[in-house]
Chains A and B, each alone.
Chain A
């Protein structure tokens, strides 16, 4: 038959021994059912499909067992009827040798089909009607058809050609790889289906012509196809083209060049030339899918190579183990055992034969050493240029090799490394037996990695900048709010001043009350000590504010200098500036807070500042400061090391700083009101005490609220990060936990401020009997108990959640477990606190009973120490626990935790020594 088109040649190419005769002399056989079918969810290019069956389900042949996920994906169908035995990770046939999720089906041997029908009858069309293109594409997608030539690209996706006007459909029947005869046999035996598929595809693409390219070493196939074309009245646009045998004529780009003389632009797709290329086997599968409703559940696979006795082609169900097929073919394991999936030029060697046949398995080649000798030692490249002559992409393989070897990736890329189709022709002809293709693969991988890293860095930069921006914005908002508030208070003050000025004519109480304080100190000396600071502290705060502002100014200057110089340290300096800014604001706030209450002090504030709470606040502040110190150290260490976690640590540092400032503020605000109370409410003690300070209450409430809202935000951020698979999840989680702790703290503070019921009694008691140990808040154990209880109940809940998550195999298990552990620690803490609160009261009782006369004044000190020891012990315990956890999980923080533990132990020893010395005294 005459060929109506002009053929072109592609540059390069080789003529390796064909070795096709071994496997193409006998018809395709149907492989019997194996004991189990292992179906990887990722048999195509694109996203893996999503299983829709679960273990124990009964499935019918052709039933969908996994649905496509996303556009570039393909569904998966049960190749036979049976039971889903497992959904588990199994090694899959991929060069990486990785394991992926597979559906394992145990066949029931009945091979019961699901109901299936042709697209025509499904749509209720008569034979005369044309099939609607989108319905055909949908059917192709639903039948799970992916390119059977070897790449496995979802066919339906390839048929979405967008704006490209397709005029030529090319069916690839070249099968240029040596040894493989699967397409050859398919064309011989299923020529009708191939041609029918061509007609369907042509209809979908509205292509004027369809060229089927077949190498001239397959005369039977060509004959069969031509017969099928003349038998099919619809196939008048289909042309079977015989092309010269030359490897790699079956490469999509090369076949297009041979048949049309056009080159697919580098990085482009054939559709841009008006061409779509499909494999002949894919066309046959499309015909089956459209005309018979057959999903893609099997393919034709060549089993060949001298290590198998019985070479030939099999129709194999997907999921059939390679070993099953090899055994059917009389496989004799060699000394240097090798099984290649695909051909000798581009196939990959399987790590084991216990791998399933998948949609792309066109050949299993089990060669003997004699047949395909393994490589000798590679010699040096002599730049003979034979590789360049063989390269079908017109590259300079020897240059690419030198660049790859020298890791000059940019030069390799410049020499069009990514146009390499990895056909292996260069390696084949290389007289020095250099594994050229491996070098290219390696370089490609390295370049891709580099690109990914650059992209990641870019993302990080964008994220960082966004964060800075957000922080600045939030700061500005806060500042605006604060200003508004300050203005409001200023106005109120003015109003009050005006009112005071009016009142000034008839005042007698005011000056007297302000002069009175000298009466009180005797009754409460500690308070007197605390009462002093006001004028002082105001001054101090003012000074602080001034210095902070001047430092801020300096920091600003430094920043602008750094920016002008384009120094690398700009971000660091900017951050420092921001910290300074925050500090200045804080100082200002503190100053204003200290200044305002004096004139204001409208409410008869609670008696004296609870000395306990004052102390506690001081302690809190101190510990926050020390923690801040540590965080600073850690940060500078991380910066010195150039650790990746610097950002995270810096964030933690900043939260720590904020906390320290907060505690300080809390302490100072607790310290300051004292004089006020003295000044204003000397007499109405009984009335005043029960009411908690509304102002501070409000502030605490606000604090709590803001902590809660921040916690909410942090939670959100964490879940977002988890979804995005960000690697900062850990850092964010830590921050979240810190936030959680803070929220609880603020809540506790608020509650403590809200329920100061004990205070009055205490106060009155203290008034009545000042020598009685008033420190262990009598009510506090109750509260602590409550806290403990709630912590326990929350722990219970967390445990439950964890076990649920574990059962569900959720990937958040780790996070939940951590939360649970944190909860546990908290429960233990509250318990310890409760016990500590209970125990001393008991012991103090006993002690006072035992040695009332002398120890009465020593007791409180000793008790305090003892309590401290207990708390410290608890802390040591916790640190140890944390360390163990870190060790178990192999976290990087082990060392730091060890150090922390040692410090705690030291502190404990210190305290114990103090206690014993105090006890002796």
Chain B
């Protein structure tokens, strides 16, 4: 009688990739809800569209690669990529932007590199950067403004659908406007901080609704931390780096965007907790994660302040993706029984 001879360990924890991804998706819900509440149905529609596109593209490529389709679709990674992309794109971006960005991120940024686990760059951010560079107008003019700012109700579901799918420009104008980050950066050259903040976008002192979005993503991020899906290293180091930069370099609110705006507007919290923490493309050692996160924080500040684009999370993450393997090689932890940690990839004693 031949017994089953498997190698140890013979038992496994209950951790599964699909569950991790599902938890990540769950953690985005507060942010999604707040965005829908503030900006209308655009985000919801975009997100749904992105998820469908992501799953479809993934399925098609898996089929072409002769991989088991349902087995890999069930890992929920495509779902998360689509979801994050949907959250990151302008709420009223035309449908083809969303579809193009998502399909590109799944097919080119993920599957062509070998699929799950093999992509050197964050797929969602590759898609985002692609459409941001390719279609700057659509990517900057379709940011919905919150009902608090516009003083009117958010667009109805059917109006939103027609704005997204029929690209009715006239209709969208009523609901879109510059994002706080964008506006502050443009106005601060001519006005003082106080004057800028008088604009309706800032609602007096804050970010015209974006603070709620960021707080919601922060809540989701804390949930992930609590569930030990992510570790504190990347988000905290990124936020700290960003805060330190804006406090030190941008202490003068009349010349630079103030720290509150950096921390609580744009994609800061989404980036810190959901995008920079993508494990596949990030650094993996504890020290490495801190360096990696801090690098993103610094880059975000630099690009936001001196770059051409109002926000910078996508570029900062992609740039740091390049460095992750190198960082990993030089930040190995000290192993048990060793006097000091090893550095680099060259073999040798000690």
Residue numbers of A with Cβ under 8 A of B are 10-11, 14, 16-17, 95, 97, 178, 253, 257, 263-268, 333, 336-340, 342, 344-353, 365, 367, 372-375, 377, 379-386, 388-389, 392-396, 398-399, 410-411, 413-416, 419, 422, 424, 427-433, 435, 437-438, 441
Q: Which of B6, B335, B346 has the most CB of A within 10 A?
A: B335
A337-B3 in contact (CB<8A): yes
Instruction: List the 5 closest pairs (A to B, CB-CB), nearest first.
Output: A380-B117, A424-B9, A266-B337, A414-B347, A344-B11
**B306: interface (CB < 8 Å):** no
Contacts of B71 in A (CB 8 A): 377
**B333: interface (CB < 8 Å):** yes
Give me 23 A-to-B residue pairs in the complex whose CB atoms sit less than 8 angstroms apart, sorted by A's number. A16-B11, A257-B336, A264-B336, A266-B337, A338-B3, A345-B10, A348-B5, A349-B6, A349-B7, A351-B5, A353-B3, A365-B10, A375-B6, A375-B12, A383-B284, A385-B279, A392-B336, A396-B285, A399-B328, A415-B342, A416-B342, A430-B15, A431-B19
Interface string of B1-27 (1 = CB under 8 A from A): 111111111111101110110000000
Contacts of B347 in A (CB 8 A): 410-411, 413-414
**B332: interface (CB < 8 Å):** yes
Contacts of B335 in A (CB 8 A): 266, 393-395, 416, 419
Q: A348-B8, A429-B15 are in contact. Are A380 and B1 (CB under 8 A)?
A: no
What CA separation (Å) do A424 and B12 show in the bound complex? 9
Q: A344-B11, A377-B71 are in contact. Are A431 and B16 (CB under 8 A)?
A: yes
What CA separation (Å) do A384 and B17 show in the bound complex? 9
**B159: interface (CB < 8 Å):** no
Is the contact region of chain A dominated by helix, strand, or loop, or is it mixed? Answer: loop
Q: Which of A338, A352, A389, A431 has the most CB of B within 10 A?
A: A431
What CA separation (Å) do A587 and B338 show in the bound complex? 66
Contacts of B286 in A (CB 8 A): 388
Contacts of A351 in B (CB 8 A): 2-3, 5
What CA separation (Å) do A97 and B2 show in the bound complex? 12
Q: Which of B1, B4, B339, B347 has the most CB of A within 10 A?
A: B4
**B231: interface (CB < 8 Å):** yes
Contacts of B346 in A (CB 8 A): 414
B3-A427 in contact (CB<8A): no
Q: A97-B5, A352-B1, A383-B284 are in contact. Are A427 and B12 (CB under 8 A)?
A: yes
Contacts of B1 in A (CB 8 A): 333, 337, 352-353
Which one, B4, B11, B334, B342, contacts A349 given CB within 8 A?
A: B4
**B43: interface (CB < 8 Å):** no
B17-A374 in contact (CB<8A): no
B284-A266 in contact (CB<8A): no
**B195: interface (CB < 8 Å):** no
What CA separation (Å) do A372 and B328 show in the bound complex? 35
**B102: interface (CB < 8 Å):** no
A346-B5 in contact (CB<8A): no
What CA separation (Å) do A95 and B5 show in the bound complex? 9
B337-A374 in contact (CB<8A): no
List the A residue with the shortest CB-CB distance to B281.
A383
Contacts of B182 in A (CB 8 A): none
Number of interface residues, chain B, beta carbon within 8 A: 48
**B116: interface (CB < 8 Å):** yes
A388-B285 in contact (CB<8A): yes
Q: A380-B116, A419-B336 are in contact. Are A350 and B5 (CB under 8 A)?
A: yes
Contacts of A345 in B (CB 8 A): 8-11
What CA separation (Å) do A345 and B2 show in the bound complex? 22
A263-B9 in contact (CB<8A): no
Give 14 new A-B contacts, CB below 8 A, not counting A381-B117, A388-B333: A264-B337, A333-B1, A337-B1, A337-B3, A345-B10, A382-B20, A388-B285, A388-B286, A394-B336, A399-B284, A416-B335, A416-B338, A427-B12, A433-B12
B280-A382 in contact (CB<8A): yes
Which one, A352, A377, A381, contacts B3 given CB within 8 A?
A: A352
**B42: interface (CB < 8 Å):** no
Q: A382-B77, A413-B347 are in contact. Are A432 and B17 (CB under 8 A)?
A: yes
List the A residue with the shortest CB-CB distance to B17.
A431
Interface string of B318-350 (1 = CB under 8 A from A): 000000000010001111111100100111100
What CA separation (Å) do A379 and B117 show in the bound complex? 9
**B118: interface (CB < 8 Å):** yes
B336-A383 in contact (CB<8A): no
List the A residue with the shortest CB-CB distance to B350.
A266
Which one, B2, B7, B15, B337, contacts A352 given CB within 8 A?
A: B2
Contacts of A380 in B (CB 8 A): 114-118
What CA separation (Å) do A790 and B57 show in the bound complex? 88
B213 to chain A minimum Cβ distance, whole angstroms, is 27
Q: A380-B115, A382-B77, A419-B336 are in contact. Are A438 and B7 (CB under 8 A)?
A: yes
Interface string of B92-133 (1 = CB under 8 A from A): 000000000000000000000011111000000000000000
Contacts of A253 in B (CB 8 A): 336-337
Q: A344-B10, A419-B335, A428-B9 are in contact. Are A337 and B342 (CB under 8 A)?
A: no
Contacts of A432 in B (CB 8 A): 17, 117
A388-B13 in contact (CB<8A): no
What CA separation (Å) do A391 and B17 show in the bound complex? 19
Contacts of A373 in B (CB 8 A): 12
Q: Which of B114, B118, B345 has the most CB of A within 10 A?
A: B345
Contacts of B279 in A (CB 8 A): 382-385
**B211: interface (CB < 8 Å):** no
List the A residue with the shortest CB-CB distance to B74.
A379
Which one, A385, A398, A415, contacts B332 given CB within 8 A?
A: A415
Contacts of B337 in A (CB 8 A): 253, 263-268, 393, 419
A405 to chain B minimum Cβ distance, whole angstroms, is 11
What CA separation (Å) do A20 and B72 show in the bound complex? 36
**B75: interface (CB < 8 Å):** yes
A372-B10 in contact (CB<8A): yes
List the A residue with the shortest CB-CB distance to B3.
A337
A299 to chain B minimum Cβ distance, whole angstroms, is 21
B334-A394 in contact (CB<8A): yes
Q: Which of B3, B77, B285 has the most CB of A within 10 A?
A: B3
Which one, A347, A381, A413, contacts B8 given CB within 8 A?
A: A347
What CA separation (Å) do A101 and B4 show in the bound complex? 25
B176 to chain A minimum Cβ distance, whole angstroms, is 37
B117 to chain A minimum Cβ distance, whole angstroms, is 3
B344 to chain A minimum Cβ distance, whole angstroms, is 8
A229 to chain B minimum Cβ distance, whole angstroms, is 30
B84 to chain A minimum Cβ distance, whole angstroms, is 15
A772 to chain B minimum Cβ distance, whole angstroms, is 81
B6-A437 in contact (CB<8A): no
B11-A429 in contact (CB<8A): no
What CA separation (Å) do A349 and B10 show in the bound complex? 9
A394-B333 in contact (CB<8A): yes
Contacts of A375 in B (CB 8 A): 6, 12
B24 to chain A minimum Cβ distance, whole angstroms, is 11
A411-B7 in contact (CB<8A): no
**B280-302, CB < 8 A from A:** 280, 282, 284-286
